[in-house]
Amino acid sequence: MGAVLFGGVSAAQHLGLVFRAAGGKRPSATGRQWPLFMRLSGAVIVSAVPISIFLVSLLCLPALFFPLPELNRNEVLALFMLAGAVVFYSLQHKQASQGMLHGAVYVSIFVLFFLYNLAVAAEGHWANVYLTVISLLAAAWVAIKIIFRRKVVVFRTSSFELLLVFLSWFVPFVLFEGLRLPADVIEAGRLACLQVLPFMLAAKIYFNLQPQGDRWVVGALAGAMVVTALRGLVT
């Protein structure tokens, strides 16, 4: 579901299509002008930021209690550098830095899901259910936000983001197979490819609503990366 949402929205906007708010010369009987629809749209707008923060919190919580794999010093350093990159680009208010920030956020979410999926085999069935449920919740939220909208919903992706998406899919589906890595590592990477997409779209919703106030998402992701690195180092 997340892959369909991300691929469809990105393709449409790169072709010049946008999701336009109701308005203009349209029949007065359109569903977007119904009072019920307007009330639901208002509720979605009011709850957009809290729900986005809630979803990111659900994503970051496993860093505290999932049995994470042991990490070597280079892997720990990479996690610290990734957390630093997210924080660094969030402090840059230039428009050109937004693509780098969104790309760093995408990689952070992907890495967290990858490490969480590696822990699924050790933790049992409930961990897999948890990751699946939060991914479905994020996908459902993105769908609701698109349907009950009043303004243009922008999910435009930069070339850098698209490159990272391509690489994140190439590595587990092609490179891991070529390297003949263990089956659980390959499966963890492939699951992360699917799970990351709805969360990336949810993060974009938050960034669009809070262009100068992305500290909650950035802080939570950076904190989860640091906790994961420290826990993996001492495992």
pLDDT (0 to 100) of residue 29: 42
Give me the mean pLDDT over the 23-45 stretch: 60
Tokens 């500290």 locate to 215
H helix or E strand, kind and range, residue 53:
helix 35-60
Q: pLDDT digit string (tens) for 104-129?
A: 889 999 999 999 998 876 666 788 88
3-state SS class at 19: strand
d(CA 141, CA 27): 28
CB-based contact 184:205 (threshold 8 Å): no
Calculate the CA 45 to chain-centre distance: 19
Nearest to 205 by CA among 140, 134, 145, 135: 145
Give the C-alpha separation, 188 to 102, whole Å: 22
| Residue 100 confidence (pLDDT) above 80 | yes
The per-residue pLDDT for 235 is: 59
As given in the structure block, the two tokens for residue 116 are 């969480």
| Across 137-144, average pLDDT | 90
How far apart CA 126 and CA 69 sit, in angstroms, is 17
Q: How confident is the model at residue 63 (pLDDT cuts 50, 70, 90)?
A: very high
Give 172's contacts (C-beta < 8 A, 6+ positions apart): 186, 188, 189, 190, 192, 193
Residue 15's pLDDT is 41
Domain locations in the chain as residue ranges: 62-234
Mean local confidence (pLDDT), 150-173:
74
Q: Are 118 and 67 in contact (CB under 8 A)?
A: no
Predicted local distance difference test score (pLDDT) of residue 20: 44
For residue 77, the surrounding DSSP H or E stretch is helix 73-90
Biggest distance spanned by C-alpha atoms of the chain: 64
Backbone angles phi, psi at 66, to 5 degrees: -70, 145
